[in-house]
């Protein structure tokens, strides 16, 4: 079975600083990997996804993530944090099941951005 581990339940950065949110996965097959953002009392919004094409994936709002098979990692980065980036971020992996996919989420990382 596939799984996702997000290192750090909380990350705090200053506005304008680099954002790095860590995600490691375990999978016996090439995975489909995702990063989602969740604002309070809202659903999830897709930031970016990796589906076995380019290993460096660019997403919305200036975020990007790099798939590193050797490290089984898919860390999320953004060069310069903005106050509006403060939210909960979830890394996810899709597992193929009979008839479709099942998405498994990491525990989430809350990003705080200090002025």
* Binding region for another protein (CB under 8 A): 32, 34, 36, 41-46, 49, 51, 90, 94, 97, 99-108, 110
For the bound state, the minimum distance from the C-beta of residue 79 to another protein, rounded and expressed in Å, comes to: 24
CB of 48 or CB of 81, closer to another protein: 48
81's tokens: 């944090």
Cβ closest to another protein, residue 97 vs residue 115: 97
Residue 17 Cβ, how far from another protein at the closest point, in Å?
Answer: 24
Whole-angstrom Cα distance, residue 34 to residue 108? 12
Smaller CB separation from another protein, 22 or 110: 110
């Amino acid at each position: 079975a596939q799984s996702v581990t997000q290192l750090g339940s909380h990350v705090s950065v200053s506005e304008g600083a680099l954002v790095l949110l860590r995600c490691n996965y375990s999978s016996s097959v090439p995975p489909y990997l995702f990063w989602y953002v969740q604002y309070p009392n809202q659903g999830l919004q897709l930031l970016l996804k990796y589906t076995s094409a380019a290993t460096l994936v660019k997403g919305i709002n200036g975020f990007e993530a790099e798939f590193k098979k050797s490290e089984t990692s898919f860390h999320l980065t953004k060069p310069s944090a903005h106050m509006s980036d403060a939210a909960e971020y979830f890394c996810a992996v899709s597992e193929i099941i009979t008839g479709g996919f099942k998405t498994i989420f990491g525990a989430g990382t809350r990003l705080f951005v200090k002025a």
